[in-house]
Every structure is written in structure tokens, then in C-alpha cells.
Chain A
Amino acid sequence: MSDTPSSRPPGFDRRAFMAGAAGSALVPLAARAAEDARAPVPQDPALPVDVTLRVNGQDKRLSLDARTTVLDALREHLKLTGSKKGCDHGQCGACTVLIGDRRVVSCLTLALAAEGQEITTIEGLATNDRLHPMQQAFIDNDAFQCGYCTPGQIMSAIACVKEGHTGTDADIREYMSGNICRCAAYPNIVAAVKQAAPEMTKG
């Protein structure tokens, strides 16, 4: 299946369109950031804070409201929309990313608290044109339907393999229980994890 349906007008980009439509809300924040670029630690919580996040191997300088979560920093400020916002309360796992080598829910992680740590998202997995073995395994095993939970499932599954919790189907189910799939693709997700695990561990 092509990901550029013929019905779409040439040059149309859904994300660019949506970002443009919402863009006006970002202007005052950006203007204030420029004004206060030299303020070290602002005591006024309304002022943005300068922070450098390391995402997929690259340093990203941002000026953020202290309330910004890693998830919102990724999606709204870095345009990395692969990590999904499901519940925004740490209950669904759709926002799962790796911080260091640990899977965490990015919706409950403050961006300011993640400074200096290596953040890996779904966008950081493929190398050149090669998908990560876990991405390929999800395709091979038809491990999704709507796909909304899939980036979180894949990030969680990679950590699950690295933690060594893929010995049995029951183990995989237990250690993947933090990622909810409302399409209930669970049997195929377990199959995908089992396929990718030996490929990942052989390096």
C-alpha cells in the first residue's frame, strides 16, 4: 500500500497543514523566548526556559514552558510526531520512548528533567533505508490495525528484548502490558516480538 494516496493534492502535507493552522498560538511564546534569551533561571513561571534535549543522537536547543513534557517537546516543538499522545496520563503507553536504555512514558516526563539524557524515539530506529528488526517484525506479523499504539509498542518491545523478558509468550505479555492496543492486535504483537528478539540479540 502506498502512503501517498492519489486523491491527495500534489505537495499537500497533512502535518505541515495542521502545524500551520495551529501556528499562531506559538508566536507569543517564541517572541518571549527571544526577549528573555539571556535570563538564566527565570523565577516567573510564565517565562520559557532554555533547554537542550538530545534526541536520536542530535542536540536540540529549545525554549520551553516548564510544563512541557518530553512528549509535547517531541511532537509540538521538534515535529517528531511518531510518539503518540493517547491518554496523556501514563496509562496507555502510546508515548513510550527510550531515555538512556530505559523505556518510559514521555507524557509524564518533564522535558526539563530529561536534559542531558539520550532520548530515542521511533524516528531514530531505522538506519538509512533499513528498518529496525522490530519495525520489520511488526510489518511481517501484521502486528497492528489502526497503528496508533504502534510506535509505543515498538519502543516498548525493543526495551522488552533488551531487558531479557521474551523467554515465553506469558513473559512477553506481562512485560508488554503497559502498551494498550484497542484494536487488540496482541497475538500478532507477541509474534512480532518473538521474531525480532533473536535478530536483535545476535546483533
Chain B
Amino acid sequence: MRPFTYQRATDPDVAVEALSAAAAANKPLTQASAQPLAGGTTLIDLMKLDVMRPAVIVDINPLAHGWSAIEPRSENLRLGALAKMSDVAAHDEILRDYPVIAHSLKLAASAQLRNMATLGGNVMQRTRCSYFRDVSYGNCNKRNPGSGCAAMDGVNRMHAVLGTSDQCIATYPGDFAQALIALDATVEVTGKSGTRSMPFAELHKAPGNAPEIETTLQPGELISAFLISGRWPRSVYLKARDRQSYEFALSSAAVALDVQDGTIRDARVALGGVATVPWRAREAEAQLKGQKFDDGLAQRAADAAFADARGRQHNSFKIALGKRVMARALQQAATMEI
């Protein structure tokens, strides 16, 4: 690991100032010379791999006293960005009213990592693409813009089939983000001019022609909270992976349904493990709304979600798998006792 200076930020302004001062106009924020440290489970790992090379670490954990509350309120749910994944996953009201959130967090990583990792850091975690993580490969458009993509014709079994570009097919690895995007969450961001809010769906950027730019965050900005309107007791997170526990998704689905008198009034579907960014499957939702649930409907919705999917040499199985995972998640949500 390269040497760095460690700084502890005791209030948000200090952190924002330190981070924004270190940002360079010609570099993505992930390559800025100062990086925020929350749980550290991505950052320290990637620094050991020499993928991330900050000269300054700004430890934002002291901000937790103001930024880690879990607040289920009548009008919405507010989750502080520095809340630990384990605390949110085990919270009684989250389990009851937002099972898709609790389960997406519980099924992620290990008990140790969930104790360390924060919600904000979790949605900012970086791809597990093995060519991105291994700096001995020169050609990675995320690490070295314009250098090419070793995954394109390499071992790409774990890579994305949705939202890809000819520059990058790296999968967005997280689980919680799928729950957030499905529930139309809002993300609150704290920066130089105070706080601003935007739809969570606008946080991540698909690779397109600039895979090195992963989010719409501006220099110095930190995620401070997530907000979710309404309650979604009829919701599930289903995750298929190579082993039963402690593994990234090959395919996952976050589903939330509002069913009244047997008719689906509202449907929210997001997909993980198969896309370059947290992926909202609006085509599937359109198939579901106003219909009565049956297995044929689930199949049609899944077909619609993957209509534009593009597999490569080793990952085409994710299209069939992803449809089945999504159909099963719909079935579980439609039939669950609430």
C-alpha cells in the first residue's frame, strides 16, 4: 500500500472541504488524492491492491453521531448514511415494513463486514471485475481510461448483461442499491453548499463512453442519508450465487408489490448481479401493473426485463438465470403473508 496521511473529520464541513480541495478537474473522483473512509471494506482492500491510491484518507466515522440514525417515520423512512449494514438489517421495523431492504443487507457480505460497512459506503462500493482489481492488467477503461477492456474477451462469467457498453461490462456488485432503486429512494448529499437531494436512480452512471466516472457526485460531496416514501411490507430480495452464503450475486431481484383484491396496483422491480449499475426493470413493472398475478405473468415480466440483455462468451447463462430469479422473486412477493 502507498503511504498516506490520515485525517479525522469531526464535522461535515471539514470533511467536505478536505475532499473537495483534493479533487482535480481532469480526474474522476475515485482517483482524487483524498478519499473518505467509512467502513473501509472497499477502500482499504482496493488500496492494498494498488487500485486506489489516495495520498490522504479522511476518516468520516466521527460524523456517525449525526449521520447514522435509523428513523422509520409516518411519512417516510430515513436512513443515515453511516448506519451500519448489520444494524439496519436487524431493525424490527425495517424487517416488518421494508423486508426488501433488510434482506438485501442481510444477504450481503459476512457478519464481520456488515458490522463495519456503512449504507453510504455500500452503495459506493466498486465493481468486483477481476481485471479492474488486478493492476497487472493494463487495459481497464475504469482504471486507465482509454486503455481498453480485458474482460470483453477475457473470463467474463461474472460480468454484466444489461447496461453494458463497448467500453466496460463490469457488474455493479451491491445488493442494497437494488432495494433503494426499486423503492424510488431519494439520496441526500452533503457538499460545499449544504445538502441537496436527488433520486437514488440518478446517483450511479452507466459506463457508456466514460466507465471511469461511476457516480454523479460532485467534488467533496458525501452521501448523508437515504429516504424512502411509503411502506413496502410485500417485498422480497432474492439472490442467486455460486455458494449459499457470503458471495456476490450471479443474479438477484428486489421486488415490491402493492396488491389489492388480487390485483397488482403497483410493482417495483430491480435487478442485481446482471447489470453495470443498480438496475430498475421498468419494462417488467409495466407488464405487472393492473394485472392479477400468475406464473405466466411473472414469465412475461421477466422476458420484458431482459429483452435488451446482451451476453458475452461466458455470461449468457445470466439471462436465463436472471429471468428465473426475477420470476421466483415475484412469486414470493405475490404470495407472502403480510
Q: Give A contacts to B, CB under 8 Å.
A: 41-46, 49, 65-67, 69, 88-90, 93, 96, 102-105, 108-110, 112-113, 156, 159-160, 163, 165, 173-179
Q: Are B44 and A163 in contact (CB under 8 A)?
A: no
Given contacts A110-B6, A112-B6, A113-B40, contact A105 B111 (CB under 8 A): no
Measured between beta carbons, the chain B residues less than 8 angstroms from A89 are 45, 48-49
Q: Are B41 and A163 in contact (CB under 8 A)?
A: no
B197 at the interface (CB under 8 A from A): no
- Per-residue CB contact flags for chain B residues 43-63 toward chain A (1 = under 8 Å, else 0) read 011001100000101010100
Q: Give B contacts to A, CB under 8 Å.
A: 1, 3-7, 37, 40-41, 44-45, 48-49, 55, 57, 59, 61, 86, 90, 109-113, 115-116, 244-246
Given contacts A45-B5, A67-B4, A178-B246, contact A109 B113 (CB under 8 A): no
- The DSSP consensus for interface residues of chain B is mixed
Residue of B nearest to A176 (CB): B111
> How close is B46's CB to chain A, nearest CB, in angstroms?
10
Report the bound CA distance from A199 to B4 in whole Å.
45
Q: Are B57 and A66 in contact (CB under 8 A)?
A: yes
Q: Are B40 and A110 in contact (CB under 8 A)?
A: yes
Sampled A-B contacts (23; CB under 8 Å): A41-B7, A45-B3, A66-B4, A67-B1, A88-B48, A93-B110, A105-B112, A108-B40, A108-B41, A108-B45, A109-B40, A110-B40, A113-B6, A113-B37, A113-B40, A113-B61, A156-B111, A165-B111, A174-B245, A177-B110, A177-B111, A177-B244, A179-B110
Report the bound CA distance from A114 to B327 in whole Å.
44
Report the bound CA distance from A43 to B6 in whole Å.
9
Residue of B nearest to A43 (CB): B5
Measured between beta carbons, the chain A residues less than 8 angstroms from B1 are 67
Q: Are B245 and A156 in contact (CB under 8 A)?
A: no
> How close is B112's CB to chain A, nearest CB, in angstroms?
5
Residue of A nearest to B40 (CB): A108
Which listed residue (A88, A93, A110, A165) contacts B112, Cβ 8 A? A93
Report the bound CA distance from A117 to B280 in whole Å.
40
Measured between beta carbons, the chain B residues less than 8 angstroms from A156 are 111-112
Measured between beta carbons, the chain A residues less than 8 angstroms from B44 are 69, 90, 108-110
Q: Are A177 and B112 in contact (CB under 8 A)?
A: no
Report the bound CA distance from A90 to B86 in whole Å.
16
Q: Are B111 and A159 in contact (CB under 8 A)?
A: yes
Q: Are A104 and B45 in contact (CB under 8 A)?
A: no
Residue of B nearest to A111 (CB): B6
Report the bound CA distance from A39 to B45 in whole Å.
29
Q: Are A66 and B6 in contact (CB under 8 A)?
A: yes
Report the bound CA distance from A175 to B45 in whole Å.
22
Measured between beta carbons, the chain A residues less than 8 angstroms from B37 are 110, 113
Measured between beta carbons, the chain B residues less than 8 angstroms from A112 are 6, 59
Measured between beta carbons, the chain B residues less than 8 angstroms from A88 are 48
Report the bound CA distance from A156 to B110 in whole Å.
11
Q: Are A66 and B115 in contact (CB under 8 A)?
A: no
Measured between beta carbons, the chain A residues less than 8 angstroms from B246 are 177-178
Q: Which 5 A-B pairs have the closest CB atoms?
A: A178-B110, A177-B245, A45-B3, A177-B246, A66-B6
